[in-house]
Amino acid sequence: MGETVFFSVVIPTYNRQPILEKCLRALEVQNFTKPSSVTDYEIVLVDDGSTDGTLEWLAGHKQEFPRVRWFQQDHAGPAAARNLGVEQALGDTIIFIDSDLVVLNNFLQAHAEALVQGKEKLGSDRFFTYGAVINTCNFNNPTAEPYKITDFSAAFFATGNVAIPKHWLEKAGLFDTSFQLYGWEDLELGVRLKQLGLTLIKCPEAVGYHWHPAFKLEQIPRLIDQEIQRGRMGVLFYQKHPTWEVRMMIQMTWLHRLLWGILSLNGALNERTMAPLLQWLINLGKPQLALEIARIFLNWYNVKGVYEAYARMQQTS
């Protein structure tokens, strides 16, 4: 990595054109100190088979995004898209963000300073930097959202906002494309990076605002499906790394079964019985609180999905 960095910001996208525009515009107007440890940067966008006109929009606005190089693939999921982005990247350091993340104008400078300082402190580049992610449903001004306790993440390696030397990704083997459903492909790569001896250096100055639409009851079927998918992918994660740490991560323990079973009254508190309360909170203008309460039954669906997938795995093995 040396004293300077050349960043390749790798972004997979799938049917996110409106927020992708904000994401790319924020990356095009980065500010750097003089002299800066950033020699240059590029934005490597991989379209994962979008059907919302993303590529047509890019083609019509390419002069506004001189740093963007884009590639496309048939819909194969974020793991395959990120792998393609890394393979095409020209930089020595990869930054992963999602296409619904809007960053501040010091984002790249903050990651660069943390990388250079980390190398001076550790005497090697066997680490990565992890920025802050703040969740928001404010589309018009996503960066106005304050930090909330629910924005805290204890993940070791998550691709919402992370910078890492490219050669460590290549040595670890990139993302496992077996993770074709929702969840875990980034944390599974994190396990392999940890096995290589990499450590995490937090970089709270590199802030990204993760936009998602305000919670509505109509979203619940999709959220339940995501939790069931996450359970299935969690079992794949455990197959690759059969450790207690992974069991805790994917919620495949008696503790999680007991916890979410009690909180959901063994499923009695569900999307139907809790709908009036959730709608009341939404009507009060508190959709985020409604979503956090909905996680009671969403986590119960996840735990059930994990154990059902694990039982099927044992039957077929």
The CB density around residue 107, as the number of other CB atoms within 10 Å, is 27
The answer to whether 101 and 209 are in contact (CB under 8 A) is yes
The H or E element spanning position 227 is helix 220-240
Residues 118-154 have pLDDT tens digits of 999 999 999 999 999 999 999 999 999 999 888 888 8
Distance between CA atoms of residues 140 and 239, nearest Å: 42
Residues 146-195 have pLDDT tens digits of 998 888 888 899 999 999 999 999 999 999 999 988 999 999 999 999 99
When pLDDT is averaged across residues 46-51 and rounded to a whole number, the result is 96
> Hey, what CATH class is 5-211 in?
alpha beta
Sorted by where each begins, the domain ranges of the chain are 5-211, 217-316
Residues 196-245 have pLDDT tens digits of 999 999 999 999 999 999 999 999 999 999 999 999 999 999 999 999 99
The answer to whether 302 and 227 are in contact (CB under 8 A) is yes
